[in-house]
């Protein structure tokens, strides 16, 4: 998106959505990985060497890179290959066994868990997600409840000066501008969490 396109989007009033709750990033161990992990009594496994593959959550990609380099320093005969490809890819590649670790901001659905009993959700990190908005001429902090955000994303509230937004924000002058909702187009854990929150 070039600068003039971006300016046009923002002057119409854009709402960029991510969940206004805490998200739990987790890892899915593929069937080969979960079946082979048997820790000694000391609780620390010394790897025999080889390569472990991880892909998925772009949110967790930086932390996996930190962990991978630290692990490789301690165990130089082992390599961990990481990739930030999106939570949906992490889940699907863990499901089909093409990677060892699938990182995801979304937990496994009951149907995926049932059809892949060897996959495991392992919580690893907590992240905060926010709802951001840009309404030209408005400097006050707007109150947008979960119910109101749900109405916006369902197309029931379409303008910034809609009665529902005005009622929630007394004393704030809101422009008669359309709300332009933005969302990710890929299979994203953020999208999963946001739609779960709105539901």
Average pLDDT value for the chain: 79
Q: Could you tell me the pLDDT band of residue 114, with boundaries at 50, 70 and 90?
A: very high
Q: Name the pTM for this structure.
A: 0.61
What is each CA distance from 96 to 70, 86, 115, in whole angstroms? Answer: 28, 16, 11
Mean pLDDT value across residues 89-109? 88
Mean pLDDT value across residues 29-44? 56
Tell me: pLDDT of 195 over 90.
Answer: no
CB atoms within 10 A of CB 198: 17
Are 49 and 78 a contacting pair, CB within 8 Å? yes
CB atoms within 10 A of CB 91: 26
Determine whether 52 is exposed, middle or buried from the number of CB atoms within 10 Å of its CB (0-12, 13-18, 19+): middle
Determine whether 125 is exposed, middle or buried from the number of CB atoms within 10 Å of its CB (0-12, 13-18, 19+): middle
Q: Could you tell me the pLDDT band of residue 129, with boundaries at 50, 70 and 90?
A: confident
- The confidence score (pLDDT) of residue 184 equals 75
Mean pLDDT value across residues 179-197? 81
Determine whether 4 is exposed, middle or buried from the number of CB atoms within 10 Å of its CB (0-12, 13-18, 19+): exposed
Determine whether 51 is exposed, middle or buried from the number of CB atoms within 10 Å of its CB (0-12, 13-18, 19+): exposed
Per-residue model confidence as pLDDT tens digits over 135-175: 999 999 999 999 999 999 999 999 999 999 999 999 999 99
Three-state DSSP string of 98-125 = CCCEEEECCCCCHHHHHHCCCCEEEEEE
């Amino acid at each position: 998106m070039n600068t003039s396109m971006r300016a046009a989007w923002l002057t119409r009033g854009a709402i960029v959505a991510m969940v206004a709750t805490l998200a739990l990033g987790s890892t899915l161990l593929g069937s080969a990985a979960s079946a082979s992990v048997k820790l000694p009594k000391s609780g620390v496994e010394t790897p025999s060497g080889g390569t472990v593959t991880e892909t998925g959550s772009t949110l967790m990609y930086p932390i996996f890179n930190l962990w991978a380099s630290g692990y490789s320093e301690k165990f130089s005969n082992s390599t961990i290959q990481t990739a930030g490809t999106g939570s949906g890819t992490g889940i699907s590649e863990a499901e089909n066994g093409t990677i060892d670790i699938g990182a995801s901001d979304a937990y496994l659905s009951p149907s995926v868990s049932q059809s892949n009993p060897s996959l495991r959700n392992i919580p690893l990190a907590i992240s905060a997600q926010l709802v951001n908005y840009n309404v030209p001429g408005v400097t006050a902090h707007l109150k947008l409840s979960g119910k109101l955000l749900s109405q916006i994303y369902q197309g029931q509230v379409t303008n910034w000066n809609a009665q529902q937004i005005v009622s929630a924000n007394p004393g704030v002058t809101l422009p008669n501008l359309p709300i332009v909702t933005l969302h990710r187009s890929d299979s994203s854990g953020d999208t999963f969490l946001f739609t779960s929150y709105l539901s």
